[in-house]
Amino acid sequence: MEGKGNGGNIIPRVFSFFLKRMGKARPFSMPHDFTSSRELLFIDSGDVTDLLFSAPFVNYFHRNFPDIHMSLLVHENHAEIAKNIMKIKRMITYQSKQLRVFNADYMALLRRFRSRKADSAVLLGRKYSLERYLIAFASGARIRIGFENPLAFPFINCEIRLGEDVYEGNKMSRVLRSIGMRPDDKWSSIELSQRERNHAKQMIHFRKPEKDYLTVGVDPSKGKAKHHVIPEIVAYLSNNLASRRKVKFLVLMDPWDDKIIAEFSQSLKSEIIDLKPANMNEAVAFLSQCDLFLSGNTNLFHFAAALDVPTIGLFTKYDGPKWVPADESRVRIFKGMRGEKLSLKRFFSKVEEVLVAEVTV
């Protein structure tokens, strides 16, 4: 539930007015009181990419503070991928319809969190969500961490400020530093289980046994910014690549859309590896086995960057710095400007760069 304009702020302000009068805030000190938590609650944003970006933070506390009991509130569609990339034992799943204020199921969810009494809560997304803010408040958590927002207080009592030039994938390291701690040597990209990787490798090899062909993943999904690269442009660049290299395409999307997949696949002029992921978890496993990935600013683009898959991000001028992975040797951004002819020479130059780049350590 995101407010639009002044009218959309009325309900949050009403809640805020009454919550501020429910009692005095309990003081806390950082990082001691946070690391002394017995129950630590993470609240998802509904965006699977935020789970990716938050995994290093969750795994950091799993390694360094094993006595903290950590829970994650996560959309049921994202539970499997969260389990794969996060070292977290307890997950509470929800359906979209459950996260609506005044809904009976939502009220039951609030009561559930009130009974658990978390010591600390962390909201994983930047966007304002009254439903999630209320859960953080209802949990009784003494420390409630979230990102800066005019409507955050009193739901959030530890606000983190980020500039628009900070890559979203680095925001949780900023949170860690803000509470007085530093990433350790194992703070790194995500790792999938060997079982998931082996399964994906076998599935792809069965359909593409030739070693001299590149497995090129392509994603025609809408981007995370207001504007996105249209599927026709993705197909155009993919087909030009196929005219120069021996490739087989693997079409991936999140969320999966059969109609878009069918239309996009028909526009590709090289053989397609016929695989449909059962869920996001399997899509990411397939992605990890690609020799090259072409995509707009999508969920899978950021997973590819985190997995060190050679990746070309097909961005528009609206995809600002906060969506550009920092210090990734195997990622290149190819930006097209509306009305300008795409430079195939520049595109192929970036492809060659990522194919020969060494894996980031």
Which single residue is written with the structure tokens 């025609």? Answer: 220
Check: CB of residue 167 under 8 Å from CB of residue 325. Answer: yes
- Our CA dihedral for 242, 244, 247, 249, rounded to 10 degrees, sits at -20
Alpha helices (H) in 65-209, listed in sequence order: 79-85, 104-116, 130-138, 171-178, 194-207
pLDDT tens, 89-132? 899 999 999 999 888 999 999 999 988 889 999 999 999 899 99
Amino acid symbol at 14: V
Euclidean distance between CA atoms 254 and 115, whole angstroms: 35
CB of 12 within 8 A of CB of 137?
Answer: no
Give pLDDT, residue 18. 47
Beta-strand relationship, 247-251 and 214-219:
parallel
Domains of the chain, CATH where assigned = 12-178 (3.40.50.2000), 194-354 (3.40.50.2000)
Could you tell me the pTM of the whole model?
A: 0.90
Q: What is the pLDDT along the chain (361 residues), one digit of tens a residue?
A: 444 444 456 655 555 544 554 545 677 889 999 999 999 999 999 999 999 999 999 999 999 999 999 999 999 999 999 999 999 989 999 999 999 988 899 999 999 998 888 999 999 999 989 999 999 999 999 999 999 988 888 889 999 998 888 899 999 999 999 999 999 998 977 888 889 999 999 999 998 888 889 999 999 999 998 788 899 999 999 999 999 999 999 999 999 999 999 999 999 999 999 999 999 999 999 999 999 999 999 999 999 999 999 999 999 988 999 999 987 889 999 987 665 678 999 999 999 999 998 655 4
